[in-house]
A and B are shown apart, each in its own frame.
Chain A
Amino acid sequence: MSRARPGGSHRLGARPGEVIDRSRTIEFRWNGVTHTAHPGDTIASALAAAGVRVFARSYKYHRPRGLLTADIFDPGAILQVGDEPNVRAAHRLVEAGMDVRSQNTWPSLRYDVKAVNQLAGRFLATGFYYKTFIKPERLWPTYEKVLRRFVHAGEVSPDSEQPYFDKRYAHPDVLVAGGGPAGMAAAVAAARAGASVMLVEQEHQLGGHLRWGDAEDLRCRDELVAAVEAESNIEVLTDSVVAARYDDNWLAVVQRGLPHVAERLVKARAGTLVVAAGLIERPYVFAGNDLPGVMLSTAVRRLLNLYAVRPGSRAVVFTANPEGDAAAADLRAAGVDVVEVDARHGRTVVRATGRGGVEAVELSDGSRIEADLLVTAVGWTAPTSLLNMSGANPGYRPDAARFVPDPAATPAAVIAVGGIAGDGTRDELVAHADAAGREAAARALALAASRAGSADTRDPVAVPQLGLHHHPELFFALPTGGFVDMSEDVSAKDILTAVKEGYDSSELVKRYTTATMGPAQGKLETVNTVALVAHATGKTIAETGATTWRPMYTPITLGALAGRKFEPVRHSPMQPWHTSHKAAPLIAGQWIRPEHYGDPVAEVRNVRQNVGIIDVTPIGKLDLQGPDVAKLLNLLYVNKWSQLGIGRVRYGVMCAEDGVVLDDGVTGRLAENHYLMSTTSSGAGTVWEWAENWLQTEHPEWQVHVTPVTTAYASINVAGPKSRELLARLTDVDLDNAAFGYMNVRTGTIAGVADCVLWRIGFTGELSYELHVPASYGLHVWETLMATGADLGIAPFGVEAQRILRLEKGHLIVGQDTDGLTKAYSAGLDWAVKLDKPDFVGKPELAWQAARGEHPKLVGLRPLDTSVVPEEAAQIISDGGYIVGRITSSRLSPTLGRPICLGQVDAHLADPGTRLTVRLRNGSDTTVEVTAEHAHFDPEGERQRV
C-alpha cells in the first residue's frame, strides 16, 4: 500500500480556536493512499492539510473541483466512504481506517478520460439532450445507456450492510434550529424562562461563526457555551439537523454521532420553533470560479482557524465586507501573501485561470495577479428553508441582497433569530435572540397552559426589530462566465440560454437547466440563479422570485427515515400448536396462518368423513351495539336485516357505491341491541372504516357503537359429520338440531371457558360450528378439542383444505371470484340484493345493472377433460380469440375425483350446459361446461342442516 509523501504538509502551528486533537494521529485511505489526520479533522481538512487540492470531477465536463465552502454544503467535496455514497467530506469527521474515494472518475481523479467533455463543452450546452438523440428512434436506448454512465454520484453496493437506525419522540417547549451565538442565546433565554429546550446544531460544535473569529468572538462563544451547559433544561444535539418542519411544528431532526446508532430520527413536537440557521456565504459567479483554489472567505477561515490548515501560499482576497477583510488578516497571520481586491472601491474579479487549480486572477481593471488561492467575500444567503416550510415566504430585499423574513407574516409558533432575521453587531444579535428566546418560551408555555385549560395572561416580551445593513448586490462578474451550480455543472451562460429559449421563470429555468436541483438544494445557487434570470428578463429579483423550498433542509438517509423495521406479524393464539405440528405458513395480509399440515387432500377427506378444526381467527369481527344497529346493517348490506331474530345468523353481502362487491360474511344477533358481525380476513380493517365512515359522515344521529374485536376472540371452525358429537362433550349449549338449527347463534361455555359465541354455519358444506372464544383461551380450547376428539378421528385442516371444501360447495371468495369490477349480480348474488329496500349503499348502480341484465356472471364450470385442472386466471375465449370470461377458482376435488371450477363469463354464455374454451398458460386450450349450480357437491345443502 502506498503512503502519502511526507513533507507537503499545510498544517499550521496551534491555533486558539482549533478543534483538532494534536496529541493523536489516525490513518485513513484516500484513493488507495494512506493519509494521516488528527481526531477532529474532517476528511476534507485532513486532505487539505496534506496538500490535496482536487477532490472530485464535475458532473458534465469532468472539471477538477476542490473545496469551496469547506462545510456540509460544499459541492466539491462529496466523496465515497466505504460503501456509503455522497458523503459530505468537509463535514464528516475522519475515523481510523476509513476508505475514502473520489466519485465519478476514471481511471483516476488525476487523469480522467471524460475530461474530454470540457473540449466538447460548447456542444453540451444546457438542454442539449432535449435537442438531439431524437432520430433514429431505435438508437435512443443506446444513447441513454451512455448518458447514464455519466451520472455524477457515488455507488451503492447490493450487499451493503444495513447499520442500526432508530427513532425517538421529543416534546420540547422550544426547539432551536442552529447553535450559533443567536441560537445559543435564544436557547439560554428560553430555558431560563422555564421552557424545556432542544438545541440542534448541524456542525460538530456549538458556536457558529464565532468559532473561526477573533479572540473576542472566542470569548463570547465560551461564555455562551458555558451558559448553555449551565442550563439543565437544554438538551444539545450537535452533528444533527432539523431536516424539515411540518404543520403544527412537527419537526424531523436527524441526530448523528451517537454510539451504536448510525442515525436517529428525532420526531419533535415543539411549542415554538426558533430558526437560527445563520447565513450562508454566497459564491460569486465569474469565469474560472470553479477552479480548485477558489474559496469563500468562510471556507478559508474554517480551514485556518478550526483545522490549522493553510489553504494556499499566495492569495487574492476579493472582499465586499468585514468578514472578507478578516479572512485576509487571518491569511496574512498564517504567513500567506495576500492581495486584497476591495469591491467597496469598485474593483472586481473577472476571471481566474489555471490548469487544475488557480494560477492567476484577472481583475476588472485589466490587471493580472499570480495566486494559488482566490478568496471571495461578496455577501450572504439566508437559508430560509425552515421558514418557507412554515408558510412564511421571505421576500427579497435589494438593500440587503438577500431574502429576509417578515416577522408579521411568520406563524406565531415560529421565530427567526440571528443573521437570518436581520443584521446587527454580535451584541445586538445576541440581545435580539435573548428577547426572542424569552418570547418563544412564553408562547410555548402559554400554549401548554391553554391546552391545560388556563388562560394566557402573560405579557408579551418586547422583541427588538433587527435592522438590515447595506450589502452590495454582487452576484456575477459578467453574465457570460463561470458556474452558477457547481454540483450540476450549470454555467451562467446556461441560465441566459434557457431564458432566451423561453424558459424565463425561476421554476422553468430550474427544471430546464437543473440549476439548484443538486445536493445543496439551492442554498448556494438559488439567489445567483434568480439574479441571472432577472438580469436576462429585465425584471427585478423580487419580481422573479425564488423556487419553492421543500423538505429536506439537508438530505437525510433512508435508513434514518425508516428507523427500525416495524412490520408486525399477526398470529392467532393457537400459533404455538401450529408451529409444533409443522403447519406450512401462508402469508395472508398481516396474518401468517396454516396453509396445511402436510396433506391438504387428506384434511378435506377427514372433514367430509369425520371432523376437522381450522383456526379462523383472522376472520374480521365487529361488535355492534345500540338501538340502530339494524339500520346500519340495512344500509351496508344489500340484503334485509330488519327481521333478524335474536339468536339468528344471516349471510350478508356489502357493495361499494358503484355496486361492486366489497365484502361478505355472517352477522348474528346476540341480544336485542347487540350483534356480532364477521367480515373476510382481508376486509376486517376496511369494513370497520367503512362502517365508521357511514356512521360518522352520513348518520351521526344513529346510536351504534362499533368495536373491532377480531383479535379479542380466537376463532375455530369445527366441521364434519361428527362435529356435534365432539362439541357436545365440551359445551353447555344445547346442540340438538331442533334447539340450535342451521344459521343460528348461541352463547355459552366451551371447555370450561365462559362467554363463547357459537355460530352454526357452513362454509365447508358440512355440519359445522364456528366458535369464537376469548382469545387468551384459544389455545386451551383448541388443544381440548384435539384431545377430546381423538376417538372421533379429529384432525386440523388449513386454508388450502378450506378452499377446496368451499369450492366443492360453490361458495365464492370476495376478491378471488369477484374483482374490482364485479357487481353483486355478476357474483350470482341476485337472491341477496333487495332492491325493494328504501336504500342501501350501491343501490342505484345495482338497480341499473338489474335493469340492463347484460352483465358477466359467476358460474360453476366443469372441465370435460378430467385430467386437466385449468389455472386460476386462465382466460375463457371465444372462437375469434376474444376474452369472454375467466377461471376464478380451480381445484382437483378429492371428494368428486375430478377438476372443479368457478368462473366469470359473459351473460350470453352463462346458461347451464354451455361449452367454453379455456386458454391455458402453456398456450393450449381445454373445454369446460357451465354447470347448473355453483356447488359441485351437495347442491341442496343437506349435509349442513342435519
Chain B
Amino acid sequence: MSRNGQRTPRYSAWSLVRHGLGAGGEWGRAFRHHTPRQAYDVVIIGGGVHGLATAHYLAENHGITNIAVLEKSYIGSGGSGRNTAILRSNYLTPEGVRFYDRSVKLYEHLAADLNFNVMFSQRGHMTLAHNDSSLRTMHWRAEVNKLQGVDSSVIDPGEIKKLVPYMDVSASTRYPILGALYHPPGGIIRHDAVVWGYARSADAHGVHIHQKTEVVGIDVTSNRVTGVRTADGRRISAPVVVNCTAGWSTLISDMVGVDMPVQTFPLQAAVTEPVKPFLDTVVVSGTLHTYVSQTDRGELVFGASVDPFASYSTRGSLDFVEGLAGHVLELMPALSKMRLLRQWAGLCDMTPDYSPIMGLTPVEGFFVDVGWGTYGFKAGPVSGEAMAACIAHGKPPEIIAAFGLDRFEEGRLVGEKGAAAVGH
C-alpha cells in the first residue's frame, strides 16, 4: 500500500507469513516522528480516538492532510486508553439511537477500513433489572429500539442464566435479578487498537502526529484563531484549531476565552488477573453501579459510575474497589477467589445535559469536540466523521446539529440524560 508517497506495508495473514519467513523486510512504523512544520491547515489538540479519528476522516473523506495532531503525552493516554471499551447503540432518544448506531456501524467495519484489527467483539450486552421500575425501563428501551430497528429485547432470569451461567439469578439475593435488556450487537473492542489504527491511517495520509507536545497557548487575532504555542516553545500557525481533549477541555477552551459548561469527574475502573473465559456477554447493573466484561486475554474488566465529586485525580480509591468487589460478588458469587490486578481512573467531562459539545464556537476557526462524559469512546468514529465534515464545510452536519455550544445560551438542551444515565 502506498499512500502519500509513504510505503506502508499492508497487514494481512499473508504478510505475517512473509515476515515470519523473513521475506517481508521491516514492517515500517505505524506512525512516524516528524519535525513540526511552521504551519498546518488544521491543528488538532488531543491524540485520543476523537482527535485521531477527526484527522483520519479529514484526510480520507475531505482530502485535507496538512494536519498536526498534538498530544501532550502518548497517543491514547487519556480517556481512549482508560475506558472499559464497551460499545452499544440501545439508546432511548431517536437522536441518541441514530448517532450511536452510526458509531457502531463504523466500528463494525473499522478493522477493514483501517487495515488494523481492532477486535470488535459483538458478544452481546446485557443490562440487568433488579426491581420492577428498572424492568419497566428495560421494556421501554426494548420497545423503542425495536421500532428503531435496533436489536434489543427483554429476557427473563432463565435466559440470563443460560447466557451467563455464573450469574446468581436466585430470588434470595439482596437485589434479585428480575430480567435484563439484551442487546446482541453490543460488545467490547480493543480500545488501544482503535487509537493505533486511526493513528496509522492518519499517518499514512500524511498527518503529523506529535506526541509529548503540550499546547500551552492558542493565539487569537480579531476573534480568529491563528495558531498554537507548545510547551517546548514552538509556535505553530493554523487557521483551524480543534479541541479534542477530555479532562482538560475547559482549560484548552479557556485559552481562547470560550467558556465551557463542563465539570470534570473521575471515573474508576479495575481489572483482574486472567482466568479461562467464562463470561461472553457484557453485564451491566445500574442498581449495583457495576459493569463487567471479559477480554480475550481472560481478564475481567470492571467499571462503575463517575465519582461523586469533581476532581482531576486519575488515582483509584480503596472505597471504590471494595464496593466494586462486593457488587461483582453479589452478581457472581463464584468469583471470590479471583484477584484484582490493577485499578485506575479516567477523567470525564460532564455537561449539564449529558451530551457532548461539538462544532463551532464564537471564536472563528476554533472547533470543539468535548464534553464526552462517560460515553466518548463509544462515539469515537462517528464524532471523527462528523467533526471532519464540520471542519471541511464550516458548519456542523445534521447528525451533530443538536450538540452545538450555543444550545446552552438558547436553552435547547439535548435530552440524552435519561439515556446516558442508564449506564454503559
Which A residues are closer than 8 A to B by beta carbons?
83-86, 122-123, 125, 128-135, 137, 140-141, 144, 147-149, 151-160, 162-163, 165, 244, 246-247, 250, 252, 265, 267, 389, 497, 500-503, 505, 507-508, 511-512, 514, 519, 521, 550-552, 555-563, 565-567, 569, 586-589, 657-658, 660, 682, 815-816, 819-821, 844-845, 847-848, 871-875, 877, 881-883, 886, 919, 921
Contacts and interface: CB of A to CB of B under 8 A. Distances in A.
B371 to A, nearest CB: 14
Interface in B89-110: 92-94, 108-109
Interface in B308-362: 315-318, 321-322, 324-326, 328-330, 333-344, 352-353
A555 B339 contact: yes
Those 6 A-B pairs whose CB atoms lie nearest each other, nearest first: A820-B418, A559-B336, A848-B411, A561-B325, A151-B298, A131-B11
A158 B334 contact: yes
Contacts of A819: 137, 140, 418
Given A505-B211, A550-B344, A557-B338, A130 B27 contact: no
Given A122-B21, A123-B17, A151-B274, A558 B338 contact: yes
B168 to A, nearest CB: 10
Contact of B29 (A157, A500, A559): A500
A364 B28 CA distance: 32
Contact of A157 (B133, B334, B342, B412): B334
B336 A154 contact: no
Interface in B64-106: 73-77, 81, 92-94
Given A131-B117, A514-B297, A872 B275 contact: no
Contacts of B76: 511
Given A131-B12, A883-B147, 18 more contacts: A86-B273, A129-B119, A134-B12, A134-B117, A148-B298, A156-B338, A250-B318, A501-B30, A512-B192, A555-B339, A560-B325, A562-B336, A569-B174, A587-B131, A587-B175, A820-B417, A820-B421, A848-B411
B143 A921 contact: yes
Interface string B189-225: 0101100110010010000000100000000000000
23 contacts: A85-B337, A132-B12, A132-B117, A153-B276, A155-B275, A156-B334, A244-B318, A389-B315, A500-B26, A500-B29, A501-B29, A511-B76, A551-B316, A555-B273, A555-B341, A557-B336, A558-B335, A558-B340, A559-B337, A566-B326, A874-B143, A875-B143, A877-B147
Nearest to A872: B136
A561 to B, nearest CB: 4
B16 A131 contact: yes
Interface string B10-49: 0111011101110000111111100000000000000000
Contacts of B413: 658, 845
A561 B337 contact: no
Given A151-B277, A511-B81, A883-B94, A246 B116 contact: no
Contact of B144 (A247, A586, A660, A883): A883
A155 B337 contact: no
Contact of A85 (B11, B115, B165, B275): B275
Contacts of B148: 883
A881 B147 contact: yes
B139 A872 contact: yes
Nearest to B337: A84
B325 A558 contact: yes
A603 to B, nearest CB: 18
Given A160-B337, A514-B297, A877-B147, A153 B274 contact: yes
B383 to A, nearest CB: 22
A4 B399 CA distance: 70
Contacts of A132: 11-13, 16, 117
Contacts of A820: 415, 417-419, 421
Contacts of B325: 558-562
B278 A156 contact: yes
Contacts of A163: 336-337
Contacts of A505: 74, 211
A154 B276 contact: yes
Contacts of B342: 521, 550-552
Nearest to B200: A502
A550 B325 CA distance: 18
Given A501-B29, A550-B342, A147 B296 contact: yes
A554 to B, nearest CB: 9
A589 B111 CA distance: 43
Interface in B138-155: 139-140, 143-144, 147-148
Nearest to A252: B318
Contacts of A159: 334
A897 to B, nearest CB: 25
A508 B274 contact: no
Nearest to A586: B132
Contacts, number: 284
B32 A873 contact: no
Interface string B163-188: 00110000000111000000000000
A125 B13 contact: no
Contact of A557 (B73, B122, B318, B339): B339
A552 B343 contact: yes
Contacts of A881: 147
A682 B119 CA distance: 41
Contacts of B417: 658, 660, 820-821
B74 A507 contact: yes
A682 B130 CA distance: 14
A658 B352 contact: yes
Nearest to A881: B147
A157 B333 CA distance: 10
Nearest to B141: A873
Contacts of B20: 122-123, 125
Contacts of B165: 158
B272 interface: yes
A562 B77 CA distance: 30
B112 interface: yes
B121 interface: yes
Interface centre among A123, A158, A267, A848 (most CB of B within 10 A): A158
Given A137-B109, A151-B297, A844 B411 contact: yes
B419 A246 contact: no
Nearest to A565: B326
A522 B336 CA distance: 24
Given A125-B20, A130-B117, A250-B318, A500 B27 contact: yes
A555 B339 CA distance: 5
A738 B218 CA distance: 72
Contacts of B108: 137
Contacts of A586: 132
A847 B27 CA distance: 61
Contacts of B317: 246
Given A552-B342, A562-B329, A588 B275 contact: no
Contacts of B344: 550
A917 to B, nearest CB: 12
A83 B278 CA distance: 14
Interface centre among A122, A148, A155 (most CB of B within 10 A): A148
Contacts of A128: 16
Nearest to B413: A658
B139 A550 contact: no
A501 B340 contact: no
B26 A816 contact: no
A761 to B, nearest CB: 23
Contacts of B11: 130-132, 134
Given A130-B117, A131-B12, A83 B321 contact: no
B318 A267 contact: yes
B147 A875 contact: yes
B341 A246 contact: no
Contacts of A507: 73-74, 77
B100 to A, nearest CB: 16
B173 to A, nearest CB: 9
Nearest to B167: A158
